[in-house]
Amino acid sequence: MVRRLIPIVLGLAILGVVAGIAAAMIVFLGQDWGDALFWIFAAIMLGSGLLVVTMRDIIRCGLAMIVCFGALAGIYVILGAPLIAAAQVIVYIGAISVLILFAIMLTQTKDAPSRLVFQTQAIPAAIASVVIAVVLALAIAATDWSEAAQRVRVATDAMSQLLFDQFVLPFEIVSVLLLAAVIGGVFLAKREPGGPS
């Protein structure tokens, strides 16, 4: 009974810590709501992203990926793109994550649990990705963004006008691409009648 309560208590504790950090940032550091929410969502996103690539249990990796996508949807809302945030929740959390969780459950083997999560090139990969992050940050810091200093609100109606006016051909091509992906996915994952079960 007590063991079952541990995740609930842990979740509530994490929620309390996050809310406390937000309140402290607003009250003591004098930051406004947008900044506090940005930092919290960024921390949740990067933390759960790290959990996705480092955790041992792959189902938990999938659940951490859902948390990461949800925090990213929050960042989209802060950026002033609520339609993209809604599409993020519907497409990524609703569709792709469920697809990945189903694939995880279809390909898990009980008899050979992989004790070794990482390949042998894990340390060079870590060095390479740190180098990527540092080089990207340096390039961003060295570039002059004075033209992009002002936030521009993207109106949803202007976006839909653009989507169905100037971008209507890519829109239709994407629909054909999705149809092709559906047919290809069914064909690839289909069981052959005479093949191995």
Partner 1 sequence: MSDSLDAYLVLAGILFAIGSFGFLARRNAISMLMSIELMLNAVNLSIVAFGAFIPGLGAQGSVIALMVMAVAAAEATVGLAIVIAIYRNKRTPLVDEYDSMRQ
Residues 32-61 that bind partner 1 (CB under 8 A): 34-35, 37-39, 42, 45-46, 49-50, 52-53, 58, 61
Cβ-defined contacts of 53-58 (< 8 Å, 24+): 54/117, 55/117, 56/117, 58/104, 58/108
Give first-to-last CA distance, the chain, whole Å.
Answer: 41
- Report the site for partner 1 in 155-194 (rule: CB under 8 A): 155, 158-159, 161-163, 167, 170-171, 174, 177-178, 180-182, 184-189, 191
Of residues 24 and 130, the one with the C-beta less far from partner 1: 130
Nearer to partner 1, 4 or 115 (CB): 115
List the one residue from 28, 106, 110, 194 that touches partner 1 (CB under 8 A). 106
The two three-digit tokens of residue 187, written as one number: 């064909």
Query: Which positions from 109 through 138 interact with partner 1, judged by CB under 8 A?
Result: 109, 112, 114, 116-119, 121-122, 124-126, 128-130, 132-133, 136-137
Nearer to partner 1 among residue 19 and residue 163 (C-beta): 163
The single residue listed with the structure tokens 């191995």 is 196
Contact present, 147 and 139 (Cβ < 8 Å): no
100 lines the binding site for partner 1 (CB under 8 A): yes
Q: Are 49 and 68 in contact (CB under 8 A)?
A: yes
CA distance 45 to 77: 14
- The answer to whether residues 101 and 59 touch, using CB atoms and an 8 Å cutoff, is yes
Q: Which is nearer to partner 1, 20 or 185 (CB)?
A: 185
CB of 192 to partner 1, least distance (A): 9
- Quote the CA–CA distance of 103 and 16 in Å, as a whole number: 34
Say how many C-beta atoms besides its own lie within 10 A of residue 163's C-beta. 13
Name the DSSP letter for residue 149: -
- The answer to whether 142 contacts partner 1 (rule: CB under 8 A) is no
Binding test (CB under 8 A) with partner 1, winner from 70, 74, 81, 93:
81
Q: What is the DSSP letter of 192?
A: P
Closest separation in Å from C-beta 15 to partner 1: 21
Q: Does 15 bind partner 1 (CB under 8 A)?
A: no
Interface with partner 1 (CB under 8 A), residue total 95
